[in-house]
Structure 1
Amino acid sequence: MNKISETAIIPASVKIGSFVIIEENVELAEGCTIGDYVLIQRGARVGAHTQVGTFSKIGENAVVGEHCSMTAYCEVRSNCVLGNRVTMGSRCTLSAGTIVEDDVIMKYSFVTTDTPVLSNNNQKLTGKLLSGSRFGANVVIMPGVTVGRNSEIGANSQVRVSVPDNEVWFGIPAKFYRKTVSE
């Protein structure tokens, strides 16, 4: 049994699993596939041909681009913006307001964190993942960190400072290893 708001915009080509909740003013584009037990909160938009895996959640006013793929247990919190062709392995979490550009790959258990800045009315700092960046499993991005274009972060790393474009980093804390190999 699904609970789908009457104000949601859902084309006939969208495939929806069982026990799905789709709240008010959600927009799903052509060809989306929504797995079982998914929650899509009010005002969220999901682009064409995107797949949302079982037990996943898309938060209020989040925007997910076209041809994205989320496997099981992914959470895209409120006001996140994901570009096109973003891939999320299982159990990935993007904190509220995270920006993810096009062609980003996150392996399982990836997390961006957020922390309130007490000196700035508790405004939260969130991460930014620039186009073409790639992340191994179990990576944690600390608040306010930007990972540059075409950069790679190794598995089990904690990224505490921003990473420039075209670099490979890994470790706890993550440190520069080398430049990415050009094709």
Structure 2
Amino acid sequence: MSLANVIRKAYRGLRVLYYGCARRYSWVITCFKFHLNAVDFKKDFVSYGVPIVDINLKGRFKVGHGFRFNSGKYHAMGGRQQQCYFVAGPGAEIIIGDNVGLTSAAIISRKRIVIEDNVKIGINTVIYDTDFHSLYAEMRNSVPERIDGVRCADVHIKEGAFIGGHSTILKGVTIGKNSIVGAGSVVFESIPDEQIWIGNPAKFVRNTYGNLYPSEQQTA
């Protein structure tokens, strides 16, 4: 075996060791952050990388069983990696159900964001329930900037939905049960159950086949 192959194998072995250690380290640090932010969470979560967590003393963040996430540039490498962000302002809520998975996503709440069970959220997706800034120039340009009256509305992602990577989910949106949002979409209107939407702005493409497997779809 050549020296180059020995070096490559040693390198791959070190990577496996690193990722095994990183999972344990990430879980410990994330637990610590969750406790500091009074997050209601289950200890069966799986963390690859450490998220940014900023929950206001009057905010709330709740996580169900089987939560899995990848956070940072070395985990689930798909380009545009960042740490996950879980941010809730005063009186805001983030509620995540069971068996939810996400990668390098940002969930920023000023009112209420609910993600039901079995939802998968692709890399670099952002979910906002607020406009952040006023629609009126004189308020945006004041010093300090005035944020009174900034529009906020609940976001609700129903069970089994899938959101493709690099998507943006905006305030007031409901994404229906088992519906799919194509990669890179910008969603600012609600999507019914069992539909596929893609684009900027996201538009209806077709219905899903529900729980049918491909072989069953041909006879449906």
Question: Does TM-score exceed 0.5, indicating one fold?
Answer: yes
1:94 aligned onto 2:110: no
Unaligned runs of 5+ in 2: 1-22, 72-82, 136-147, 213-220
1:160 aligns with 2:188: yes
Paired AA for residue 163 in structure 1: I
2:152 is paired with a residue of what secondary structure? strand
The separation in 2 between residues aligned to 1:134 and 1:92, in whole angstroms, is: 13
Shift of 1:168: 0.3
Q: Which runs of 5+ in 1 are unaligned?
A: 1-14, 19-32
Q: Which residue of 1 aligns with 2:208?
A: 180
Inter-partner Cα distance in structure 2 for 1:160 and 1:101: 19
Give the letter aligned to residue 49 of structure 1: D
Task: Output aligned runs, 1:1-183, within 5 Å.
Answer: 17=25, 33-34=27-28, 39-40=33-34, 41-60=36-55, 61-72=60-71, 73-78=83-88, 79-89=93-103, 91-96=104-109, 97-113=112-128, 114-115=130-131, 121-122=149-150, 124-182=152-210, 183=212
**Superposed CA offset, 1:33-64 (max 9, x none):** 34579733422121131123323023423111
Count of aligned pairs: 154
Q: Which moved more, 1:37-46 or 1:156-165?
A: 37-46
- The equivalent of 1:28 in structure 2 is none
> Which structure has the larger Rg?
2
Counterpart Cα distance in 2 of 1:103 and 1:68: 10
**Between 78-87 and 120-129, the greater mean CA deviation after superposition:** 120-129
Residue identity (%)? 22
Structure 1 residues 171 and 34 mapped into 2: Cα distance closer, same or farther (>3 Å)? farther
Q: CA deviation at 1:121?
A: 4.3
Q: Quickly say closer, same or farther: Cα 1:66–1:179, change in 2 above 3 A.
A: same
Alpha-carbon separation, structure 1, partners of 2:49 and 2:29: 4
Residue identity in the other structure for 2:123: Y
State the alpha-carbon separation in 2 of the partners of residues 36 and 116 from structure 1.
Answer: 27
TM-score (norm 2): 0.62
- SS for the counterpart of 2:43 is coil
What is the CA distance between 1:118 and its match in structure 2?
6.4
Higher helix proportion (structure 1 or 2): 2
Q: Which moved more, 1:103-112 or 1:33-42?
A: 33-42
Cα–Cα, structure 1 residues 57 and 16, in superposed 2: closer, same or farther, change >3 Å? farther
CA distances 1:102-129 after superposition (whole Å, capped 9, x unpaired)? 0000010011122269698446224211
Counterpart CA distance in 2 for 1:58 and 1:83 is: 18
Could you tell which deviates more after superposition, 75-84 or 45-54?
45-54
